[in-house]
Every structure is written in structure tokens, then in C-alpha cells.
Structure 1
Amino acid sequence: MFYSRVGVVTGANKGIGLAIVRQLALQYPESVLNNGPFLIYLTARSAHRGQAALRNLQEDAQLKAAKALAADGGLSEIRFHDLDITDSSSIRSFTEHVGRAHPDGIDFVINNAGIAMQGFDSDVVKTTLGCNYYSTLEACHAFLPLLKPHGRLVNVASTAGKLGSGYSEEIRSRFLSSKTEADVTSILKDFALAVETGSEKEVGFPSAAYAVSKAGLIGATRALAMAEKERGNNVLINSCCPGYVNTDMTRGRGSKTPDEGAQTPVMLAIGDLKDQTGRFWKDKKHENW
């Protein structure tokens, strides 16, 4: 079957990721990108959980009532594919599949996959940065060649990644003045090294692996957007905070529903952005980092 639009959502078997897929199907008919059949790749590390999520969406009462899915006469089809962004071979396998299946390119990727671990030590920092920063950026670079001109790349970050009082003025200035991914990576390497010696607060970092990983993601997303713009690539690259959502990641303490948390990532994927790129967004508005 021919699809006019194709999108990918990572980490989509539950929580915000699953809600993003659901809202994409619901909102696409009214989207500025609507020009025909729409394929959404729901990806997850676990085939069992991913397939279960797909079955739930296929039986979702609101999707059925809206006739959003192709099986009910709608525009959207949702297809599961396994993808573990922390595994380079999994990224390569999936992007090769997408490249073969859609030689004309895809329209957007929403990088939602991420982790939030309890505790704080060098192992937690290494694992958290590995997934939320390094693996997400590896996925970005693998997906970029697949995006159509004027495609979208959305990285789900967090307000926790904003440069608040936990940072020294020197570290904050380094983040804000960063121009390249390498600039941002050097800051995160300094953070990881400081944690190993227990000196992260002395050198100006908060003792918070998740927050620093998301600060890095916001900075690297901005740097990637600038680099692509300088190359003449018109893809729109943005990061966002979904808000404090009631999911497993927040251990049920969030104040937003997953559907509410999905609104900003969905807008950045299929809404009218007026060519804005390299920004950090929350509640459908861009915010200062």
C-alpha cells in the first residue's frame, strides 16, 4: 500500500510513547500534513509488549469512534517494529528496513525512548547518559538521512533539563554557549568524570543523572538543528517537555494524563511550526533553556 505520510515513534509500547501514537492517529485528519494515508511505526524493545500495545490501539474505543484507523475506514495504520535505541545493531536493522520500505523518505521521527533510574552513582550516570543522550543522538543521526525535505525530528526531553540553580554559572554558560554536539558531549563527559570522584557539586553540576542527561539532549538537539540548517537541510529539529505525566517513569505521581503529555510532541511532528527549529518546547510553546 502507498502511504502519503510515514512517521516513527520510539519507546512507544506504554506511557507517553503509546499516547503519542494514539494522538497522531486522532489528530492527523486535521493536520496540515494530511495528504492521504498515514503509516505510524510503533517501536519498542520488547516484541511482546509492542505487539500487545498495538492490539490495544486496534481495539481503542476512541480511535474506533473517530474512525481514525484504516481498518475502520480512517487514514492511519499503526505497525509494530522492534527497536532498541541502546543497541547499534537494532538501530541499523530498523533504519535499513525503513529505508527499503520507504525509498522516498519518511516524514518525522519522535524519539521518546528514555530511562529514569533511582539512585545516584557513576553506574547510574553512565547508564542514564548512555540511553538518554548518546543512544538518542545515535538514533537521530541514523534517522536523518531517511527524512524527507522539511521532515521533522522531535526529541522528548524534560523541564528537568532546564539550566536552573543546580548548575554553577560556569557550567550554565558552557551549555548556553555550546555550538556543536561535541561541545555538549564534552560537558557531559566532565559531569561523568566528576561523579566518579564525588565532586560533581564542587565543579558545578547537580547530583542528578536524569536532569543532566536531558540538559545534554536539549543542547545537542539545538546544536544538531544548527548544523543541519548550515548544511542547507530544511528538516525541523526540536526538543520538548511533555510535562509531569502520570506514567511508570514518574512512578504514578504525575499530574498530567499520557494523552495530555502527548500534545506537544504531536504538534511538533504534524503541526504548523512555521519553520521553527532548534527550540525547546513545553505546552505547545517554546521556552528558554
Structure 2
Amino acid sequence: MAVQSRVAAVTGANKGIGLAIVRNLALTYPSSPLRQGPLTIYLCARSASRGAEAVKTLENDPQLKQARVLAQHGGDTTITFHQFDVSDQSSIHNFRDFLRNTHPDGIDILINNAGIAMDGFNTEVVKQTLATNYYGTLEATQSILPLIRDGGRLVNVSSMAGKLNKYSPELRHAFIAASKSQVADCTSLMQDFTKAVQDGNEKELGWPSAAYAVSKAGTTAFTKAIAAQNNKVLINACCPGYVNTDMTKGNGVKTPDQGAKTPVMLALDDINGSSGGFWQSEKIIEW
């Protein structure tokens, strides 16, 4: 019988935390409990040229060369670029169809890392941020989750910015209730926020005036809701920490490799069947 191979996909992976996640999946897989045959990692990004450049960077990475984990160095991991734009539904569906056709037996790992952080705060910023970080990540989760084999992993990269301590007690309660109920309830909270910003009364209604923070609170909420209804795949949200990347304008205190640690752990380690958690620094934290 042929050795079953493992398949992983990481979105938003041409730079920053996403690139570090791909790198650390390759480094960690050979010694991980999930190891079973060769590993294919799809490094997903919007731009084909930047994606190809990222793959080249990893193929020339001194640590990966020394560890001999990649196929061209005698290892059993292959990193391949695939186009993926989390803000474009047809791009998400194209990637889903590609995975379904190329790996009819299913895949093992999806790490949804793609996202944006925009400057300023107005209705347009809110709509664009939610379209990518909330609705796009939700679409990717719901489209690709059915392809993940039993025992596989789905990790949504969320953020401490999405913690509920910034909200009124009523909204905090609504988020927690939605996370224990269904995705539609999480989505209606995002719609309520958008309307409040349009009406200019989000602060009075208990919302923070922060599009990114709310998009990540929504992501954590829907991740928990989906995890509660799925007993075959381990589904978790995590905060990588304040990482020094373009997204933090170079202000972060963690390196991308340090930021990649928790998502990679949730993808590859034995986490005792833990699902529906919000993680940071390799442990479940209060949302």
C-alpha cells in the first residue's frame, strides 16, 4: 500500500508570519506526531510573482538546507505556490476545486493566515476589513473544511485585538452566545457593527472604533461556532502575538518565527483533541 502523504495549505504566506509558518511546518513536520509519508505545503498568496519569490527564499533558506527537510535536499517536504486571494470568492473556490481534484483523498491542514490591517476608521475601512478578515476567512473555512480528513487541523490566525474586554457587557455576552450557537449569529454581529459605524453611533452602542479588532473578534467567534459543530477536525483560533512584520509597521516585539510557533503547534502537535480554543503562546487563553 502506498505511503499516505500529508497535505497542508497556508494562506497569506508570501511574507511575515505566513512565510514563517510555512518554514516552521517544514522544519517541524519530520519530528511531529502527524508525520506520515511525504508532506506537500501549498504556500498561498495573491501575487504569483511574490509567491514564487517566497518559495525560492525557502528553497535557499540555510536552516532548511542544513536540516535537509525539503525534497531537493533529500527530505520529504515539497513547498509549492498556489494563487489565493482571501478577498475574492472565486479565488477561494478555485483553490478549493484545485485541492479537491489534486488530492481526492483530502488534505490534513489549513492555516488561514491571510488578512489586512488598514489605516484610519470609517465605513469604507470597516467594509473592506470585514470583507477580507471576516467574510473571506469564513468563506475559506467553510469551503475547504469539508476537504480536511478526519483528525486534520484547521487554524484561523486571529488576534489579541479581538479580545472581548473592549466591548460593553451586552456585546460581550452577544459574542459569547454567538460563538456557542451558529455562524449566522456571528455574522449578524458583524452586520450590526457595520450599521453602527454607518450611523456614527458605534461607541454609544458599546463597540470599539476599530475595524481590525472587530474583524478578529468575529473570526474567533465563528471559529468557535464551527468547531462546536464538527467532531472530526481540530479547529482553533490563535493570536501569534505582536510580531515584527509589515502589518505592525515593524513595531512588533516578536520575530515571525516566534509568531509562527502557536499556529504550527496547533497544526502539527498532539494537542489532546483540543478544539474551539483561542490560543496564544502555546496555550489556551481567555477570549
What TM-score comes out, normalization by structure 2 length? Answer: 0.97
Count of residue correspondences:
284
- Cα distance in 1 between the residues matched to 2:128 and 2:109: 27
Shift of 1:151: 1.1
Matches within 5 A, 1:21-100: 21-100=22-101
Asked whether 1:209 is paired with 2:211, we answer yes
Distance in 1, matches of 2:198 and 2:146, equals: 37
Q: Shift of the alpha carbon at 1:185?
A: 1.0
Letter in 2 for 1:203: L
How far off its partner does 1:260 sit? 0.4
* Cα distance in 1 between the residues matched to 2:32 and 2:76: 12
Q: CA deviation at 1:79?
A: 0.5
Shift of residue 144, structure 1, vs aligned partner: 1.1
Is the 1:3–1:39 Cα contact (8 Å) retained in structure 2? no
Report the CA distance between 1:199 and its aligned residue.
0.3
Runs of at least 5 residues in structure 1 that lack an aligned partner in the other structure: none
C-alpha displacement of 1:75: 1.9
- Runs of at least 4 residues of structure 1 off by over 2 A? none
Following the alignment from structure 1 to structure 2, what is the Cα–Cα distance between the partners of residues 181 and 145?
Answer: 16
Contact 1:9 1:112 in 2 (8 A): yes
Out of 258, 261, 264, the residue aligned to residue 260 of structure 1 is 258
**How far 1:158 moved relative to its partner?**
0.3
- The answer to whether structure 1 residue 172 and structure 2 residue 207 are counterparts is no
CA contact (8 A) 2:3 2:36 kept: no
1:276 equivalent in alignment to 2:274: yes
Alpha-carbon distance in 2 for matches of 1:10, 1:2: 26
User: Over residues 54-101 of structure 1, what are the superposed CA-to-partner deviations in whole Å (9 max), with x where a residue is unaligned?
Assistant: 001000001001111011011211000101111111111111111111
| Structure-2 separation of matches of 1:25 and 1:275 | 22
Write the mapping of 1:133-282 to structure 2, written as runs, cut at 5 A: 133-164=134-165, 166-178=166-178, 179-229=181-231, 234-282=232-280
Q: Distance in 2 between matches of 1:259 and 1:221?
A: 24
Cα deviation, 1:148-186, whole Å, max 9, x if unaligned, reads: 01111100000000001x211110110111111111111
Mean Cα displacement is larger for which, 250-259 or 185-194? 185-194
Deviation (angstroms), 1:2 = 7.0
Work out whether 1:124 is the aligned partner of 2:122. no
- Could you say what secondary structure the match of 2:253 adopts? coil
Whether contact under 8 Å (1:158, 1:242) holds in the other structure is: yes
- Give per-residue Cα distances to partners, 1:125-161, cap 9 Å, x unaligned: 0000110000100011110111001111100000000
TM-score when scaled to structure 1?
0.97
Q: Aligned with 2:203: secondary structure?
A: helix
Post-superposition CA distance 1:191-227 (Å, at most 9, x none): 1100011100000000000000000000000001112
Q: Please provide the CA RMSD for this pair.
A: 1.1
Q: SS state of the match for residue 117, structure 2?
A: coil
- Counterparts of 1:76 and 1:181, CA distance in 2: 35
Structure 1 CA distance, aligned partners of 2:273 and 2:286? Answer: 18
Q: Structure 2: 5+ residue runs without aligned partners? A: none
